[in-house]
C-alpha cells in the first residue's frame, strides 16, 4: 500500500508501462484513465487492469488530454503548438 492510499484513500492504478506522465484524468464512469505523457503520446488505460487500450501519437510532449462529453473523442495539446481531436 502506498502512502497516499494509506493516508488519503486514493485509488492506485498500476499501469503496465513506465511513462513520464504529465496529466491523468478518469472518464466519468471511472473505468478508463487518459494520460498525457512526455513521450509524445496520450494513452487510454483500463483503470482496473492497467492495460493500454489506445495510443494517440503527437509530434512532441503532450501537455494535456481530455475526454469530450460523450467520451467518444479525445482532445490533446502539445508543446509542438498543436491541438488534436
- 13-84 is a CATH 2.60.40 domain: no
Instruction: Categorize the per-residue pLDDT at 10 as very low, low, confident or very high, splitting at 50, 70 and 90.
Output: very low
pLDDT (0 to 100) of residue 4: 47
Q: What is the pTM of this model?
A: 0.79
Q: Are 32 and 72 in contact (CB under 8 A)?
A: no
pLDDT (0 to 100) of residue 85: 92
Amino acid at each position: 500500500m502506498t502512502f497516499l492510499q494509506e493516508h488519503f484513500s486514493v485509488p492506485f492504478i498500476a499501469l503496465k508501462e513506465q511513462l513520464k506522465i504529465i496529466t491523468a484524468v478518469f472518464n466519468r464512469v471511472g473505468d478508463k484513465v487518459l494520460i498525457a505523457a512526455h513521450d509524445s503520446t496520450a494513452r487510454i488505460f483500463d483503470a482496473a487492469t492497467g492495460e493500454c487500450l489506445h495510443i494517440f501519437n503527437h509530434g512532441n510532449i503532450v501537455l494535456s488530454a481530455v475526454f469530450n462529453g460523450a467520451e467518444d473523442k479525445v482532445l490533446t495539446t502539445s508543446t509542438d503548438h498543436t491541438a488534436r481531436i
